[in-house]
Amino acid sequence: MTLAELIAQARTALQTAITARQQEQDALVALRSEENLTEDQVRAAVERRDAADAEVTRRQEALAELEAEQAREEELAQLQARTVPAATRAPAYDQVHRVGQEERTYRPDLDRRGAMFERDVAAAFLGDYEARDRLARHMAEERTERGDQLQRAAGTGAFAGLVVPQYLTALYAPAAQANRPFADAIRHHDLPAQGMQVNISRVTTGSEVDNQAAENTEVAEQDMDDTNLPIPVQTAAGQQTLSRQSIERGAGVESVVLDDLFRRYNTNLDAKLLNQATTGLTNVATAVTYTDADPTAAELYPRVIEGLAGVEETLLDMASGDNLAVMHSRRWYWMQNALTDKWPVLSQPGIVAQTLGANYATSYGRGVRGILPNGTPVIVDNNVATNLGAGTNQDEVYLVDRQECHLWEDPDAPMYIRAEQAKASSLGVLMVVYGYFAYTHQRYAHARKVTGTGLVTPTFTGV
Domain residue limits, the chain: 179-196+233-463
The 3-state DSSP class for residue 90 equals coil
Q: Is the pTM higher than 0.95?
A: no
Lowest mean pLDDT among 247-251, 289-293, 398-402: 247-251
Phi, psi dihedral angles at 25 (to 5 degrees): -65, -45
433 bridge partner residues: 238, 416
Under the banding of pLDDT at 50, 70 and 90, the label for residue 396 is very high
- How far is it, in rounded angstroms, from Cα 103 to Cα 93? 11
pLDDT of residue 351: 67
Are 227 and 244 spatial neighbours (Cβ–Cβ below 8 Å)?
no
Q: What is the pLDDT of residue 185?
A: 95
C-beta atoms surrounding 319 within 10 Å: 17
Q: How confident is the model at residue 356 (pLDDT cuts 50, 70, 90)?
A: low
Q: Is the pLDDT of residue 150 over 90?
A: no
Q: Is 179-196+233-463 a CATH 3.90.1690 domain? A: yes
pLDDT digit string, tens, across residues 104-134 = 887 777 766 677 777 787 777 777 788 888 8
Q: Is 437 helix (H, G, I), strand (E, B) or coil?
A: strand
**Confidence label for 1 from pLDDT (cuts 50, 70 and 90):** low
Report helix, strand or coil for 402: helix
What element of type H or E holds 64? helix 39-83
Q: Cα(184)–Cα(176) distance, rounded to whole angstroms?
A: 18
Return the pLDDT at 344. 62
Residue 183: what pLDDT? 96
How many residues can be counted in the chain? Answer: 463
- Distance between CA atoms of 200 and 230, rounded to whole angstroms? 7
Least confident of 29-38, 304-313, 402-411: 29-38
Task: Name the residue among 170, 365, 382 with its Cα closest to residue 256.
Answer: 170
What is the DSSP track for 296-330?
Answer: -HHHHHHHHHHHHHHHHHHHGGG--S-EEEEE-HH
Residue 84 is predicted with a pLDDT of 53
Higher per-residue confidence, 188 vs 348: 188
Give 345 or 43, the one with higher predicted confidence.
43
Where does residue 368 rank: exposed (0-12), middle (13-18), buried (19+ CB within 10 A)?
buried
